[in-house]
Amino acid sequence: MAELVSLYCRWARGRSSATDAALLLVSEINYRVIVNPPAEIAPHRYTDRPFPSYRFVPGKAPHPTRDPDGHSYNQPPVQLASFNPEDWYACEEYLYGIDLFNHGYWWEAHEALEAVWAAAGRRTQTGLFIQGLIQIAVAHLKRFQGFNDVAMRMAAAGLEKMGHNNGTFLGIEVATFRDAVKSSFSAGNQTPIIIELIQE
């Protein structure tokens, strides 16, 4: 809680950042309470779709799809007919997955991006890239749970899946993203990643 207050005070003094916003979002004691930072420091939204009522962390809240109290209980899984990597900006499910990722809904980001992964073809270049994003979302969640070794291995596996891509792919500047992930999951670093999409 002290960290949360400190981050808010830094925002109030005008010295906050996107990183502070991400930390503010995930510095929660009660996982059913959504901590909404002021709009000035919240990560950019790529969709208008509402977020779930809580961020799922295993052991801390009802399972979203299996528990009757879950935020997505009885909701059918999303199925996409196709995913064209050249038109990534037109795929709401992909954009929503990025929104979830950036706002600390890492389990939910995994679920949203899973549908895109399946539509892209799991063993295609695009599919492997999306699988890498999913693994990096899982790495964030594992680190948040305190499983740092697992998180570092998962992040490395995600980067390996994405390693054959260069330049900007699916709106992500790959080299910059790769460096950010390596820095985020280096020893002692707890800074979450914010994905900024670029439409060329």
pLDDT in tens, 119-155: 999 999 999 999 999 999 999 999 999 999 999 999 9
d(CA 91, CA 176): 23
Inside any domain, residue 193: no
Shared domain check, 66 and 12: no
- Residue-wise pLDDT for 27-75, tens only, equals 443 333 334 555 556 788 999 999 999 999 998 899 999 999 999 999 9
pTM: 0.81
Verify that 21 and 75 share a domain, yes or no: no
Q: Give the CA-trace dihedral at 54, 55, 58, 60, to 10 degrees.
A: -50
Please give the residue range of the domain that contains residue 165.
45-184
Higher pLDDT, 31 or 106: 106
Residues 35 and 84 in one domain: no
Read off the pLDDT of each residue in 92-117 and give the average, rounded to a whole number.
96
Mean pLDDT of 169-178: 94
> Considering only CA atoms, which of 106, 6, 3 is closest in space to residue 51?
106
The predicted structure's pLDDT at residue 190: 81
pLDDT for 40 equals 55
Q: Report the domain count for the chain.
A: 2
